[in-house]
Structure 1
Amino acid sequence: MVPEIIPAVSNDYREPSRDIPGGLKAEDCPQFVVIGFDDNRVSENLEWFLDVLKNKKNPFGKNNQKTFDATQIQLSFYMIGSSGPGMYSWKKAYDLGHEVGVHTFSHPHGIEHDGALVLKKLDYKAHQEEIQACIRELENLGIEREQIRGYRQPFLQYTMHSLAAVALEGLSYDCSIEEGVAFGEDGRNFYWPYTLDTGSPGNRYFFPKGHVQHILPIQGLWEIPVYQLMLPDMDAAIKHGLKNKAGAYYSLKEKIGTDRITGFDYNLWVLYKFTEKEFSTTLKYNLDLRLEGNRCPFTFGAHSDEYSAERASRREALIDFIDYALTKPEVRIQSAVNLLEWLRKPTKL
């Protein structure tokens, strides 16, 4: 059983809404891009990203620090604590201003299945132990406890137990719930991040009441969702130069047979075997949709372990997207915790 009383995480309150916070017009709203790397067990890969990104800056704007104008781009890194000893690249990321968060200590499954049968569910106390052990490793590297604010559940197998543990440990936000899944949602009108005071639309869509992953409200705990990636149609293929080996443009939506997939690089590289051009085109297309619509933050989940020197083309594809994003004057590539700062006090460009 989850604890009967879960303390309020904060006094923040935002219902799930497609409206831009603060009543801002789309043209006045920053277009946040939040790239969150999970695991981070290979220092060489992480060091490469840190070195490449350290000189990339957000558009100048009006030189307003409240909208992160002209700031260094910042990412979020969610660490597996058991890999912590000797991982000084984690401290380097922190020292460079990137966010460092929790991805548990041992990367356990939140739920164990045998087909449709749930065999075991990790309870909130076990989740707390995982979070605490990860935080200890981060502190051992010199990362300050009060700067550790975010959590991602391994395999996105969140439950009420995992979220209760996040709240009990005093973290500010979770980023494990999928949104953008319902009919009519198309990348232009996704829900903005919200607090879990009234639950989660994405959770209710996937996991109705009675399901093992259905969640109850938690006061003041923010959810920065994993948004679906819409797959490029023919118009997007033509715009971004997506061609097959014969030189013909093609629709990824038709090739894959669906219009959206979970917004994680694992799904693109591993499950659907995307080419590098398909990868970068998909990310660019989704940014284009955000800019056409309600400026909902574009969050993308990644794994730095998948970007080794031997997979240089993957590195190039991700950097190609980042460079494309930085050509848009409205874009601000920032960590999830910095997005949270803006959500609390929305400021126009």
Structure 2
Amino acid sequence: MILDLLLRFWRIEMKFYSILLIFALSYSYSLASPLIKDDLPLAKPCDQKKCELPDCRCSSSEIPGGLSRDKTPQFVFLTFDDAIRSDNYQLYVDAFYGRKKNPDGCNVSATLFVSHDYTIYPKLHDLYENGFEVALHSITHDPNTTKWQQASVAELTDEFDGQRQIINKFAKIPNSDIHGMRVPFLQLSGNNSFEVIKQMGLEYDCSWPSRSYVDPGLWPYTLDYKSHQDCPIGPCPTASLPGVWVVPMLDLFDQKKVPCAMVDQCTNIPSDAANITEWIIQNFNTNYKNNKAPFGFYVHATWLSIKKEHNEAYKKFIDYLQSLPDVYIVGIHRALEWVKNPVPIGSPDWPACPTVTKSACEDIFCTYTREDESEILMHICADAGCPDKFPTPGNPLGN
């Protein structure tokens, strides 16, 4: 029964991504861009004399700080999207807890892009306290991609700032430790979601795929100036938005050389664990043996549970990464801290290990009836108290 439900959810998710990919290939950015209109200043070509770290970086494949490749760390972003449930929580624990540390002595980490419905907030709290980075993936995760494509700044604020408020109150995670966001289905809305990042005081977006700047890969950059990144799922931003960081999702390529931003989209891959691991390593080496642009393995937890071979291959890939002396498995924010102030591997100025202040979070659940008369549970940290209403955009605290 549970496996049938997981298969159903995974197939629905993949259906939406397939529709989105077809749309992206059928319509150019120039056709999509008129959907988003605003009065923000148009970004100009990057002036490298004015755009300097730590506050500004031109879109570029050059290693930050002009470091040589052998002195540059290879950052790896292992990210997961959607709700934190009991089943995927255990997958994360099994894959990450108890692992040896990165070469700098800090814990390995993954980044969780969290949506609201069905998230068990005490389990999210536990993952946060054990070193996972928590980022935003909207309240509703509405499957209507047109909604995200045409969303206004106000609508996106309700979704993402609302989710930040929910996580802050019901998972007891400080706003100051929430740095980034990813829009559902990677459906950008032109300048709007990036303007929301700036208005909310967030640091980065990780929703923008690239299939043209993979070899060598784009390093993270800011939107002070015009980006030259390709736009597979438009509309993409055109405005100058100083200080907003883009973390490009460099496409993987399956065995038929079909690009896929999310691993779930990669359909032409091996079936056995050993060869799946080898396929992942081949994609990783595109970065590692080139300019060491951060390598991202972006996936939904269902991909790990749908086939035991996927989960086995994933763990073997992490084992392989940990055998390399210059690879750092980190949350996205930690890597950006290095990009802003790049120093050679082993430097005494290397960023200190991240810390969190731990607090108690007893799990209680609250029961609500939706408009369609279906019942939904919400697990929260007990001392937050059950909200009167189930949180929604516009009323994230359920008052």
What TM-score comes out, normalization by structure 1 length?
A: 0.77
Query: Could you say which residue in structure 1 is the equivalent of 2:313?
Result: 317
What is aligned with 1:305? Answer: 302
Query: In terms of mean alpha carbon deviation, does 154-163 or 26-35 score higher?
Result: 154-163
1:70 to 76, 85, 105: 105
Partner of 1:295: 292
What's the counterpart of residue 46 of structure 1? 89
Q: SS of the residue aligned with 2:334? A: helix
Partner Cα distance (2:144, 2:237) in 1? 13
**Equivalent of 1:112 in 134, 146, 161:** 146
Alignment of 1:102-251 (within 5 A): 102-108=136-142, 111-112=145-146, 121-139=150-168, 140-159=170-189, 160-179=191-210, 181-182=211-212, 185=213, 187=215, 189-203=216-230, 205-206=231-232, 212-231=235-254
Contact 1:197 1:220 in 2 (8 A): yes
Map Cα deviations across residues 71-117 of structure 1 (whole Å, 9 max, x no partner): 22111001002333x3321111100111001000001257429xxxx
Contact 2:80/2:299 (8 A) holds in 1: yes
Q: Which moved more, 1:299-308 or 1:24-33?
A: 299-308
Q: Which residue of 1 aligns with 2:121?
A: 87
Is contact 1:226–1:262 with CA below 8 Å preserved after alignment?
no
CA distance in 1 between counterparts of 2:124 and 2:344 reads 32
Q: Residue in 1 aligned with 2:331? A: 335
Matched-pair contact (CA < 8 Å) for 1:2–1:123: no
State whether structure 2 residue 277 is matched by structure 1 residue 280: yes
Larger radius of gyration: 2
Q: Indicate the SS of the match to 1:137.
A: helix
Aligned-partner Cα distance in 2 for 1:131–1:59: 31
**1:120 Cα deviation after fit:** 6.9
For the Cα contact (< 8 Å) 2:205–2:246, is it kept in 1?
yes
Higher RCO (CA < 8 A, seq sep 6+): 1
8 Å Cα contact 2:84-2:124 kept in structure 1: no
CA–CA separation in structure 2 for the residues paired with 1:82 and 1:133: 13
Does structure 2 conserve the Cα–Cα contact (< 8 Å) formed by 1:81 and 1:134? yes
CA, structure 1 residues 120+302, in 2 after alignment: closer, same or farther (shift >3 Å)? closer
Q: CA-to-partner distance for each residue in 1:211-261, whole Å, 9 max, x for gaps?
A: 644532311100111111144xxxxxxxxxxxxxxxxxxxx2xxx2xx341
- Distance apart, 1:3 and its partner CA: 5.7
Give deviations 1:267-315, integer Å, cap 9, x for gaps: 12xx44652445322220122222211111101211123333x632221
1:174 Cα offset (Å): 0.1
- Inter-CA distance 120–150: structure 2 relative to 1 (3 Å threshold): closer
Distance in 2 between residues matched to 1:191 and 1:223, nearest whole Å: 10
Match of 1:96 among 130, 135, 141: 130
- TM (norm. structure 2) is 0.68
3-state SS of the aligned residue for 1:222? Answer: strand
Distance, in Å, in 1 between the alignment partners of 2:240 and 2:260 is: 24
Deviation at 1:265, TM superposition (A): 1.8
Residues in 1 aligned to 2:79 and 2:204: alpha-carbon distance in whole angstroms: 13
Distance, in Å, in 2 between the alignment partners of 1:78 and 1:12 is: 24
Contact conserved, 1:40 with 1:305, CA < 8 A, in 2?
Answer: no
1:80–1:107 contact (8 Å) kept in structure 2: yes
- Structure 2 CA distance for aligned equivalents of residues 171 and 2 of structure 1: 22
Q: Deviation above 3 Å: which 4+ runs of structure 1?
A: 1-6, 211-215, 271-274, 276-279
Assess, with a 3 A threshold, how the Cα gap between structure 1 residues 134 and 225 changes in structure 2: closer, same or farther: same
SS of 1:191's partner is coil
Give the match for residue 242 of structure 1. none
Given that residues 77 and 110 in structure 2 are in contact (C-alpha distance below 8 angstroms), is that contact kept between their aligned partners in structure 1?
Answer: yes
Which secondary structure does the structure 2 equivalent of 1:37 belong to?
strand
| Structure 1 SS opposite 2:307 | helix
The answer to whether the 8 Å contact 1:57/1:71 transfers is no
The alignment covers a number of residue pairs equal to 296
Name structure 2 gaps, 5 residues minimum.
1-35, 42-52, 346-399
1:55 and 2:55 matched: no
Give the aligned residue type for 2:196: A
Q: Distance in 2 between matches of 1:284 and 1:290?
A: 10
Give the match for residue 65 of structure 1.
Answer: none
